[in-house]
Amino acid sequence: MYAIVDIAGQQFKVEKDHKLYVNRLEAEEGAAVTFDRVLLTDDDGKVAVGTPLVEGASVAAKVIAHVKGDKIVIFKKKRRKGYRKTTGFRSSLTQIQIEKI
């Protein structure tokens, strides 16, 4: 069984015991969270598509940790002008584990 869920503005395909990284959630580590914005569910070939959401469906998950993502390096340059600028960015992520659909 799997579901497509809208979590913090992004859509994810989730299954039971699946671990994934999502944008930072406002929850403590070890806390249980529930996502009600389920767009699609599939239970052994029995597909339920929402218009826009599936009624009565929810996904329960557990927050494992709050982490930072890989560093992204931004480099800007204008040729023959001597202009060079380097900056970096690391996104704030939350690792969750799906417990129940």
pLDDT tens for each residue of 82-94 = 999 999 999 999 9
Residue ranges covered by each domain of the chain? 2-66+96-100
| pLDDT, tens digit (0-9, with 9 covering 90-100), for 19-31 | 999 999 999 999 9
Tell me the HSE value of 44 on the side-chain side, using a 13 A CA sphere.
Answer: 0
Q: pTM score, two decimals?
A: 0.81
What's the confidence (pLDDT) of residue 88?
Answer: 97
Nearest Cα residue to 96 out of 11, 25, 6: 25
